Chain A
Amino acid sequence: MIFLRKRIMAIALASMILPGTVFAQQHISWWDFFVGGDGVRMKALTSQFNDEHADINIDATSLEWGVPFYTKVRTSVAIGQGPDIMSWHLSRLPLGLEEGVLSPITDHDLEVAGLSRSDFFPHAIEAASGPDGQLYAVPFDIHALVLYYNKRYLQGTDYLDASGRLTGIDSLEDFESAMAAAARNGSRVPLSYGTSEDAPVFRIFFTLLKQMGGILISPDGEILPGDSTAKATRAIEIMTHWFDEGWQPEQTSYEASVALFTSGEAAFMLNGVWEVPTVKDLAASGKLGFDWGVVQVPMLLDQPASWADSHAFAIPANARNPMSPQKREAVMTAIGWMERHSLEWAGAGHIPAYKPVAESSEFQQMEPNATYSALVDTAMYDPRSPIAGVASPVYDAAVNILAPAINGYLSPEQAIAQFKSELQSRQR
């Protein structure tokens, strides 16, 4: 009995002396949706962070992207069981705000992280802020639609300059004649993209709409207000024309559209920057079999614009289970560290949202990212609406109506009319 009491005393004493060294370690539970190339890089970053920080331990879980991810975080946060930090698409910020899932990022938080608002590209900060100007997420990257090209099919045309870079595409006519030239040079599919899928079709539609200065959803919730309906119709006409000419593949899945490019059948591919590592790795291992390049989407219509979104870090508003100030500091420390190490993340094709890295000489020399990084100035985020953004009704309408239309099932006018009424009915 005395022996037992002594042991208890010893343990109690030890726990009073040791906390500074052992028990103060902050465990951060971290949820993200990064898989594939993104997932590998994020895992490397978190484990490097853990190695460098004895007092903080990130316990990361990768979940399925899309509606399942956003449903899970929203429901778990509502009952106070959310993570301490999570990844978030800035295009889906309105949904998080509507439900009060996101904890505001204060200036003090940024200070702890060693960051300030002016460190980030204005478009990204704007997309990460609520209507009240309050910051609700810390942007990590900017990823956008870009144009990949296969030099083999452009050899001997006017569209490659002396050093083998894409040139001379300053209008829709130029782009279409480049596709025609590529077809004559033997490209079976001059322009590849996932013509049967929601996101690829939407991103191109939205880019074309924005290059005409169109508005998808006005701040007061009107779908394609005023002449934007005509502009949207024009965008679908353009995409349907590419189909009619046989330039874009019929009813193609995302994976098949990438395969069409990497197997050397396509002269161009319109896709996100995240496929850069795929092509880069194939080229590095000598399996690609052609020279390639990637540029920001050229100005095909009235003004430059590219569809874009950002991955960001957000802190859930776990109202039922509030975070201790110490943990919040640890979370912000992790966010700050990630931003300063976002050069590694750029290896997945992204452009860092954190300007000190994006403007560093290391990133300026990083190819092909540096070639298209100027697109951040004309990056166009999805409209600020709970029905827009990734995995949203807008994307559903894209696969439901726009994708079949550009494959010849519906006229552009009818498609846009249906698209409008469908989205109108989703708003309440």
Chain B
Amino acid sequence: MTMIHNRRRHYLVAASLVAPFMVILALVFLYPAIRMVALSFTNGPLIGAGDWVGLDNYRRLLSDNLFYTSLKNNGYFIVLTVLPTTLLALAIALMINRLSGRLQATMLALFFLPYILPVSVVTQIWSWMLDFQFGIVQPLLAFITGKPIPVFRNPHWVMPMVALVTIWWTNGFNVLLFIAGLRNIPVDLFEAASLDGASRRQKFCRITWPLLWPVTALVLTLQLILQLKIFDQVYLMSQGGPFNSSYVLLLMVYREAFQLNNGGYASAVALVLFVLIMVVSVLQFQLLRLGGGKR
């Protein structure tokens, strides 16, 4: 009897502790999210109600070329960022991990610095460095390719350059995660392996890599979610052009909602993106867990 009583009290305490968060979540996330889902079945404008149109918005989406272009560009951007940034962060973390004391802290701070900059500052810096008329990187590009390149106005260069800027900007956080992961690996394992005569390569493949796998899986998943939500950099540096070669799904949501006043259609695109992110990230995380389990 007392046990049941206690358990009930525990529930009450737990519920009262969780309630403030749940109320706020329901108010500022769940309610608007449900309204957005409802809006996606109407022809509503940005503000105010619209008429129920059923699945019309989704049908329209399936015949909208811009949607497929955006989807393809989102995919291309994922390829350009997720794996490269993870590998790069791992490499940097491994190198920083071999340093010690103040030098290590300094290097970590240097790599982390871009991450604390707001996106507007980051894009301003890079737009300035890559400016076609007087950017300081242009002589380097001219040296390599033979002529200066208007990178954000060239359909072939724009996505890789946006990816480069994004990696430069966000890599510091991944480095930090990897450093934390590396520090979690007990030193005894390396000492034991050294006693057994393991080479550095063997130590990495047999100890570091498997024990770091959960962190790697986390970084990959976080990156996937983050990079699917690409918007700011494209909006600020290339406006989706040239020839829609950097048009992405969130830019489409933005333009449909705020410029064209199609609240319903924009919600439909946003919902599709939401489902896409959910499915892809859950799928990826499960796959990575399986992959990790085999080792």
Q: Does B244 sit within 8 A of A, measured CB to CB?
A: yes
Which of A75, A79, A403, A426 is within 8 Å of B153, CB to CB? A403
Contact B65 A425 (CB under 8 A): yes
Q: How far is the CA of A125 from the CA of B231 in the complex (A)?
A: 39
Q: Does A392 contact B (CB under 8 A)?
A: yes
- Does B230 touch A at the CB level, under 8 Å? no
B152 nearest in chain A by CB position:
A196
Q: A196-B153, A425-B66 are in contact. Are A74 and B47 (CB under 8 A)?
A: yes
- A404 proximity list for chain B (CB < 8 A): 153, 155, 241-243
Q: Give bound CA distance, A75 to B244, whole Å.
A: 28
CA separation between A409 and B245, bound complex, in Å? 13
Query: Could you say which residues of chain B place their CB within 8 Å of the CB of A391?
Result: 259
Q: Does A252 lie within 8 Å of B133, measured CB to CB?
A: yes
Contact present for A99 and B150 (CB under 8 Å): no
Q: Report the Cα distance A98→B259, complex, angstroms.
A: 12
A135 within 8 A of B: no
Which residues of chain B come closer than 8 Å to A250, judged between CB atoms? 132, 150
Cβ-closest chain A residue relative to B257? A71
B240 within 8 A of A: yes
Q: How many A-B residue pairs have CB under 8 A?
A: 85
Number of interface residues of A (CB under 8 A): 36
Contacts of A98 in B (CB 8 A): 261
CB of A418 within 8 A of CB of B243, answer yes
Interface string of A85-121 (1 = CB under 8 A from B): 0000000000100110000000000000000000000
- Judging by beta carbons under 8 Å apart, are B133 and A401 in contact? no
Closest to A398 in B: B241
Contact of A95 among B64, B65, B255, B261 (CB under 8 A): B261
Q: Across the interface, which residues of A come within 8 angstroms of B134, CB to CB?
A: 256
> Which residue from B47, B65, B243, B258 sits with its C-beta under 8 Å from A410?
B243
CA distance A266 to B134 in the complex (A): 16
A427 and chain B: residue at smallest CB distance = B260
CB B281 to nearest CB in A, in angstroms, measures 30
In the complex, are the beta carbons of A196 and B132 less than 8 A apart? Answer: yes
The complex places the Cα of A333 from the Cα of B253 at a distance, in Å, of 41
Partner pick for B242 among A249, A252, A401, CB 8 A cutoff: A401
Nearest A residue to B65 via CB reads: A425
Given contacts A253-B132, A418-B243, 19 further A-B contacts (CB under 8 A): A67-B258, A78-B47, A79-B47, A99-B45, A196-B153, A249-B133, A250-B150, A252-B133, A391-B259, A392-B259, A396-B255, A399-B242, A400-B241, A401-B241, A401-B242, A401-B243, A403-B241, A407-B150, A407-B153
Interface CB pairs A-B, < 8 A, 5? A99-B261, A198-B239, A396-B255, A400-B239, A401-B243
